[in-house]
A and B are shown apart, each in its own frame.
Chain A
Amino acid sequence: MRGKMLDTTAMAAAMGSGRPASYAPADGPRAEIGELCVPLSVSSAFAVATLEGALHENHDRGAAAILPDGTALFACLDGHGQEGASVSGYATRNLLAGCAAALQQGHSASDAITMAYHRTTSTMPQNVSDCRFSGSTAILMVIQHNGAGKRTATTGWVGDSRAVVARLRVQPGPARSAPKLETVPLTKDHKPTDPKERERLLAARACVRPSRVMHPHTGAWIEVGAVRVWDASQVYGVAMSRSLGDMQVRPFSEHATLSSHRVPDRFRP
């Protein structure tokens, strides 16, 4: 596929064969629910184009599913690292399927997105060969109809992939002048340099700095490239403040709770 452009139909056909009757996730924590549970849609309402870069296999993923009630799900992901394509592929299928399942259970769009990310993150280490030194960005968008012709777009994201909406701008002046467009971002890139993200990272005492290389003559360390968030041993850094995978930089899950028990006095030495 190197250097070849893919279109929607090919991607949908490649990922969405077989239409089960239900979106309920398969049993068991090891189940990869995506391919089985969400049929990707083919419609002229949307399209995906992707082109492999010059450096490695394509780590990007784009996909869409229109559910029976008309709710539309869109995903766009950008993997990184040796197994970036596995991470973004696994996450695409599971975000769509997890979100569809949660919506079908009656959860709100934002809850469904949160649950889909949580499920994807918690099952990933068992299902992807390496998500320790590989990871992915992810945008998951839900477009829902709320009756009376109202629609909402709920967008969840981690990382620096971006969603925008192009809309007609209200023009002051003569009504016949050509309509102008404005483009409004729906997401804000999760960069370590973003003030809010930086504040959060520094509060967690994370190591936030660019990569370092040694000067060939003086032996001094020089900082090069984008600002990264580093793991405790400072061997692996990610140029984003949020991502899926990259387990090296999160030795403990953010969902973990640690508990301690007081040892009864009679057992003390």
Chain B
Amino acid sequence: MHTHSRAQVHPYLISIPEIVTRQLDDKDRIIVLATDGVWDVMENEEVGQLATGETPARACQEIVSVCARRWDTQMPGRRDDITSVVVDLTHPDLNPEGVSSS
């Protein structure tokens, strides 16, 4: 028996994830995950600024509403779904061992 691992397989569009590991340090403050409803109308830097210094609940609502206004002005009637997940890395729930946040 012979196995052809590549023959006649069409790996055009793949669902294998790319994976990156990052060591977090005490300078890392906020992580934002968002869909292209955000990234099409907002740069990384601005998202980072909006997400910092607020509670995650307020920050993610703020990001979504600013992006919605931009879609509605720049591309009326074509607004994409807009989603953001904001994670506060300094929060005690994510620091059970008491990671320094200073």
Contacts and interface: CB of A to CB of B under 8 A. Distances in A.
A206 to B, nearest CB: 4
Interface of B: 1-5, 7-24, 27-37, 39, 44-45, 47-49, 51-52, 55-57, 59-61, 63-65, 68, 71, 77-89, 91-94, 96-100
Interface of A: 5, 7-8, 43-55, 58-64, 66, 70, 72, 74-78, 109-110, 113-114, 117, 121, 137-141, 143, 145, 147, 149-158, 160-170, 181-183, 185-190, 201, 204, 206-207, 229-232, 238, 240-246, 249-254, 256-262
B53 to A, nearest CB: 9
B83 A50 contact: yes
A79 B86 CA distance: 20
Given A46-B56, A47-B57, 11 more contacts: A47-B56, A48-B60, A62-B85, A117-B17, A147-B97, A158-B15, A242-B13, A249-B12, A250-B13, A254-B15, A259-B1
Given A8-B57, A143-B24, A158-B17, A252 B10 contact: yes
B3 to A, nearest CB: 5
A59 B81 contact: yes
Contact of B37 (A60, A169, A190, A240): A60
B22 A54 contact: no
Contacts of A183: 44-45, 47-49
A147 B51 CA distance: 28
A113 B16 CA distance: 10
Contact of B52 (A110, A143, A166, A201): A166
Given A55-B78, A252-B8, A252-B10, A49 B64 contact: yes
Given A49-B61, A229-B12, A258-B9, A70 B81 contact: no
